[in-house]
Structure 1
């Protein structure tokens, strides 16, 4: 399948979009310098929203925006690997992060370029010297749960034994910082607020947001953040990862691979995600919104600042 190259290639990653009043699916307020040997990337953002007509229970018709989900087939050195269902905000970073989180590449310098063309719905990855045993590494494919259906290749879980996260003394979070982080995400002018049907992920240093991504699947959003981190040489040891999606084993695994020891979710935690986090020494917060949260694992990293318990309601007998 020939890929039409309709977009100029650049080594730059997308900067924060101008505030036109429209929601942004990708936002990076700070743009650190690129790492040496960063691959050339196109900037092929797709249309994020589609307007349709709906009819409600009262028989009234009105216009409504919905996310513009689309397939993106990934080719590595002309070999087809996978089709990702995505909103398409930053498809090049999504593909790069996906390759890193699947352990198909170890460093961005292994990739010469990533070219995305929405006319054919494909991403062409050109590596510097090829990927050793690509067929063997991708032979066992696991389709994970959730919207958009994530994909994890079989040996990714086996490689977690080599991950070493920072200890509790050097990677911590205060309750006040957690609340500030949650408030920023609540106020963000998001695709979800306008159209729903997407997940959001973000990376923080303390309460400072570095990058935020929305996509139809939480796994796509975290992969895009992984791609951004790798392009800019941003490490995860002192960072906090936020997601609107539930903390499955896949999300915990990818956060660990990015070196991020603290995860905050607006949703809940699965048993496998919980067990994996305990094994790796990670801190998980779930059900986190509006100053409410549950800390599931890694209490030793959390500097609690407990809020006053509400006064009990007295019932006076009549």
Structure 2
């Protein structure tokens, strides 16, 4: 078990109530999700400012460092200290991070919402990723995942305007659920939680409410997860990267409908669980 960094357990309000006026002049109160800047410093070097709700800041920072390939092992880090009064996360390493200036010199702006910038060449490590070929997902487990997300308590149901990501077992058991203003923040927070818990991704399923862009697929692959689900669609590059790394992509996962775009050998069909197709279901990814 690696030595884990010391973490703060910072807490902050995730929603705010505001008054609104409707089309008939009626006043009511609604909840809206919080959005606040969190500037990340690594050994006093400013890296990035993330816009986040603030629900899982320590895990978000860890997952960001992991998914940006800036820190290879969690035991390289001594602490992550989040201070909302100044909107900062101070990350301290034990012995410094090798070649940090070189590794943060090049940024690629991607199609992410909330945070879609990656350091270095986006495709640098794709060829080195090998996902387990024997991972499987049954049709009944897929539907269990979709149903779990549908009924799970969420900020989205209360306030809207956020993305959700979740990690499931291959049997459809919910392991983590994170919401944030950007889906990249949410996936990074889950990566951070997995890192802290020493959890492998090879027998897991990842779900996101957002579209499956190339960066989302790469992050999932870096987490070792072979199966990604989305209630939205995918991009051409997301599809291409999934084919390359051996990842199964499921899009348009709503109700009993889904579209499996890549590596169909992982799906165990159970047609008794499916509803008859109709023309309305035949949509493009």
**TM-score of Structure 1 vs Structure 2, range by shorter chain:** over 0.9
Contact residue 115 and residue 185 of structure 2 kept, 8 A: no
After TM superposition, the structure 1 stretch with the greater mean CA deviation from structure 2, 143-152 or 269-278, is 143-152
1:146-175 alpha-carbon deviations (Å, 9 max, x no partner): 4313221123421121111101xx201011
Contact 1:69 1:87 in 2 (8 A): yes
The answer to whether residue 240 in structure 2 is matched with residue 275 in structure 1 is: yes
| TM-score (normalizing by structure 2) | 0.94
State how far apart, in whole Å, the 1-side matches of 2:42 and 2:121 are: 19
Superposition deviation, residue 60 in structure 1: 1.0
Distance 2:233 2:246 in 1: 18
- What is the CA–CA distance in structure 2 between the aligned matches of 1:258 and 1:103, rounded to whole Å? 11
Match of 1:309 among 276, 279, 282: 276
Aligned to 1:173: 137
Aligned counterparts of 1:226 and 1:279: Cα–Cα separation in 2: 21
Superposed CA deviations along residues 218-276 of structure 1, whole A, max 9, x for unmatched, are 00000000000011110000000000000000100000000000000011000000000
Instruction: Tell whether 2:156 aligns with 1:189.
Output: no
Q: Which runs of 5+ in 2 are unaligned?
A: 280-285
1:148 to 2:108 alignment:
no
Shift >3 Å, 4+ stretches: none
The match for 1:121 among 87, 96, 118 is: 87
Cα distance in structure 2, aligned partners of 1:305 and 1:80: 51
How far is 1:58 from its partner? 1.5
Q: Determine the structure 2 residue equivalent to 1:234.
A: 199
Q: Aligned residue for 2:282?
A: none
Match of 1:267, SS state, is coil
Once the two structures are superposed, the pairs formed by residues 1-318 of structure 1 within 5 Å of their partners are 35-167=1-133, 170-205=134-169, 206-306=171-271, 307-309=274-276
**Max radius of gyration: which structure?**
1
Listed one character per residue, the Cα deviations across residues 111-153 of structure 1 (whole Å, up to 9, x for unaligned) are 0000000000000000011111111101111222243132211
What is the alpha-carbon distance in structure 1 between the residues aligned to residue 145 and residue 209 of structure 2?
Answer: 13
What secondary structure, in the 3-state scheme, does the structure 1 residue paired with 2:238 have? helix
Check 1:49–1:308 CA distance in 2 against 1; reply closer, same or farther (3 A cut): closer
Q: What count of residue pairs does the alignment treat as equivalent?
A: 276
- For 1:108 and 1:310, the matched residues in 2 are separated by 47
The SS at the match of 1:297 is: coil
Q: d(CA) in 1 for partners of 2:70 and 2:209? A: 27
CA contact (8 A) 1:102 1:156 kept: no
Q: State the TM-score, normalizing by the size of structure 1.
A: 0.85
Please tell me whether the aligned partners of residues 113 and 125 of structure 1 are also in contact (alpha carbons under 8 angstroms): yes
